[in-house]
Amino acid sequence: MAFGARILAVLAVAVAVFTPTASFARPPGTKAIVVLTYDDALPSQLSIAVPALNAAGLPGVFFLSNLKPEAVESWRTVAADGHELANHTLFHPCLSATFPADPRNTLEAYTPHSLLQEIAQANTLLTAIDGKMRHGYAMTCGQTVAGGQDYIEPLRQSGLVTYARSVSASSDDLRRDISSLDRMNVPAAGFAEDATAQDLIAFAEQARAGGGMAVFLFHGVGGDHIAVSEAAHAELLAWLAAHRDTIWTTTLQEAFDWIDATSVGSAASR
Ligand SMILES: [Zn+2]
C-alpha cells in the first residue's frame, strides 16, 4: 500500500506539473492556443499562405514592412477576411552585422525615439489599410537595441502597440499560462527551410501537452526567404483544422483581448 501511495503521490506531482490548471486562460474545452504569424509582407504569403488559411478557415497574423503600393489592396482584403495585420516598422532596420544594408538604415543609426516615430507611422499606414486603431508589433530580426539602447521599455511606455512578438521560444514558454506572459516579449518559434510537417505539428503538440501557447513564426511559404514548403504548411493547417476541439488557433490580438475580457484573465493578472 505504501508503494501504491508513493506511486499515487508521484502521479499527483506529474499531473500537477503537466496538466494545465483550470485557470489557464483560453476558451473552455481547449487545451492550448496556436497562433500562426508571417513576417515581412512577402508575395508568397499573399499567393500561398493566405489562400491556404482561408481554405482551412484559420486566421493568421501578418507583420508588414517595406510595403509595396501594388500590394495594399491585397492586404486590405486579407484584413477583411479576418486575418490580423500588424506592425513590423516601415523599413525593417536590423543591426548592421545581421545582413548587408545601407548603414543609415541599421538599428545602430536609430535611437529608441526615432524607431518609435517609425513604428507610429507604420501604425498609421496599417490603420489606413485595415481601419483598426490598435496594432501589435514584431521586433525586426528579434532585436531590441536601437542606437545602443534597448527600446522595449520606451515602446511599452509609449502605448503605441498592444504587444511585441520576439523570435525565440523555449519549451517553458509552451507550458506557460498566457495571461502571465510579458506582452512586450511574446515568444515565437521560427523553422528552418527543411522543416517537415511533423516538425511543425510537433511544436503545436508541445503546446497542447503543456497547456500554453505556440506562436509559429513564418517568412516565405513555398517561396521567398526562409521559406517552409507549401506542403508542410498545408499539412500543419489541416492538422490544426482537425483539432479545433482542443486547440484554439487564433490571432495574438484576439488571444490577448479574450484574456482581458474574461474573469480568468483579470484574476490571473491581479
Ligand atoms: Zn522581419
CA 88 to ligand 1 centroid distance, Å: 7
Split at pLDDT 50, 70, 90, the class of 199 is very high
101 assigned to some structural domain? yes
Per-residue pLDDT at 266: 46
Residue 170 lies in a domain: yes
- The pLDDT mean for the chain works out to 89
The CA 217 to ligand 1 mean position distance, Å, reads 10
Strands (E), 89-210: 137-138, 145-146, 149-150, 164-165, 189-190
Indicate whether 117 belongs to any domain: yes
* pLDDT (tens digit per residue) in 47-85: 999 999 999 999 999 999 999 999 999 999 999 999 999
In a domain, 146, yes or no: yes
Q: How far is the CA of 18 from the centre of ligand 1 (A)?
A: 34
The rounded Å distance from CA 17 to ligand 1 centre is 35
Q: What is the predicted pLDDT for the residue at 20?
A: 41
Q: How confident is the model at residue 264 (pLDDT cuts 50, 70, 90)?
A: low
Q: Could you tell me the residue range of the domain that residue 252 belongs to?
A: 30-269
Task: List the CATH number of the domain containing 141.
Answer: 3.20.20.370
What is the per-residue pLDDT across 201-237, written as a single tens digit (0 to 9) for each?
999 999 998 888 999 999 999 999 999 999 999 999 9
Residue 19 counted as domain residue? no
Q: Can you tell me whether residue 150 is helix, strand or coil? A: strand
pLDDT at site 25: 58
For the stretch 78-121, pLDDT in tens is: 999 999 999 999 999 999 999 999 999 999 999 999 999 999 99
Q: Are 77 and 127 contacting, i.e. CB atoms less than 8 angstroms apart?
A: no
Q: How far does the centroid of ligand 1 lie from the alpha carbon of residue 270, in Å?
A: 34
How far, in Å, is the centroid of ligand 1 from the Cα of 27?
Answer: 31
Taking the centre of ligand 1 as the mean of its atom positions, its distance from the CA of residue 241, in whole angstroms, is 27
How many folded domains does the chain comprise? 1
- Residues in contact with 176: Cβ distance below 8 Å, sequence separation at least 6, in sequence order: 210, 212, 213
16 in any annotated domain: no
Q: Which of 26, 36, 30 is nearest to 214 (CA)?
A: 36
Give distance in angstroms: CA of 80 to centre of ligand 1.
23
What distance in angstroms lies between residue 129's CA and the mean position of ligand 1's atoms? 19
- Judged against a pLDDT cut of 80, whether residue 265 lies above it is answered with no
User: How many whole angstroms separate alpha carbon 122 and alpha carbon 75?
Assistant: 14
Distance (angstroms) between ligand 1 centre and the Cα of 196 equals: 22
Query: Which residue's C-alpha cell is 521560444?
Result: 169
